[in-house]
Amino acid sequence: MSDTYFCFSDENGDYKRDMTPKQLRRPPFYVRTTLIMNAET
Q: What are 1-41's pLDDT values in tens digits?
A: 568 999 999 988 777 778 788 877 876 677 899 999 999 86
Task: Write down the pTM of the prediction.
Answer: 0.51
Query: Dmax of the chain from CA atoms?
Result: 54
Residues 6 or more apart whose CB falls under 8 angstroms from that of 20 comprise: none
CA distance 37 to 4: 9
Q: Which residues of 8-36 are buried (b: 16+ CB within 10 A; e: fewer)?
A: eeeeeeeeeeeeeeeeeeeeeeeeeeeee
Whole-number pLDDT of residue 31: 87
